[in-house]
Structure 1
């Protein structure tokens, strides 16, 4: 890496040390305000994926730049979610992010890496503030740590300093994980399998939830589920042996089967055997597996009942339900309900 003028660098550091903490905070605040007041790119696509045990949050900007969010970028490198107090996530020395500032890493850093690890500020899909790094730099930063490791092992000491052990282990796992993901992605793209793999993944989830045949009937919906519906609707509860209003069947589909897991209701209705008249031969919950399906249903029902009990009105319950257990692909209600 080309070195800057040592005198200028030393002078810059001296000026930084001479500033009071209040002045540094004021400068940082003004810089932040200026940064977010100008036009910044917008993310049109957002999502996440896993590398080993680490969940990586990503975005694609309108200029097709791939972003890995700042927090998950750091976690993937074995760093804490935030830097140590006083350093600041975005603080740099000689244009380097803090995770590359160690002097021992300098021999392995080139100008291309410096350019690719500058923080990128963008607007998220919902209009929030996002900060991240170019996705390609994650692999390159990990390689710097591994080059440092190799140099340490080949040195007279023959070992890696303990303070870098966690980061080097994370970098090694990261490179291995990226290699595995990369070869799978190449095969999927070359064969066209990428167009159907998400459907296969969804099918695996559904198969884990659902049985092939109808299981023996057992009571799975507690009375409290129906009692709370009747209370919030202002209806008289006379027990389950009396036929409830037809609307309750629709509420069950809405509150439970449309929200339990993606695609569950559609798959249940597809697998449910029919009579000659076209009616279901059993209850939808009879198709759930004992090890995954029924525990998931029970947990979901407890959550719904808890929201009902916490609600004073039907409108309040529906609002909280949509916020806590939204249907996939639906727009959340805005909390403008007057509950006086």
Structure 2
């Protein structure tokens, strides 16, 4: 059976290091094995097993599985075979080191703590964009699959499985909505039409494509939209956007003023729109 080959290649910068990366003809995104070791351990050579197979990391990194799934591939124009690590396995290594660093039960050596800190730096650099997207951009693969651009973006935002319940929208957001709309009823019984404000002020400013996806792919009854967002990117950006809007809201006197300021701040073009709200008698029934 013919081994896969690197169809696209490039370099990504992680933590100040230029790292060789590839997209194989199979669609797998890989980081060169030597580059992986250099990225986490800051050495020019060394066996990956030496850095992920230590006893103190056993509960945090499945080194046997990672090493079994190393990929051998050829690079056109060269006569040598290369080995690489799948992007998801690279992220698992970083995550495992970080978990060990913050665990009270781990017993990392000073050298392992140093690597764990480097992994935390690498991981923070991946939080916003995602390793796959970085590799796609560096190798030029993104242009070969432009028709899937939205799916690349959504993969970073939409979890494959609904994430566990977690309170995401701060109470301060509802308090500001109540103040600006004159809502006098307890916020626990807030009106349903505030959901439209959340879409306009939060989701649409966060990423219109994701908002559109969420509208067209509503979850089952009782499952909130924001619980479909991934922990590493979507939720963090969503919470951050909530607090940004809260900050703007505190400077406003009316909901109309808030909507105008948010639209202007996030580069939305003004259009003449009318939003009809239920009469006071209906609001109290919501």
- TM-score of the pair, normalised by structure 1: 0.36
TM-score by length of 2: 0.42
Higher relative contact order (CA 8 A, sep 6+): 2
Point out the structure with max Rg over C-alpha: 1
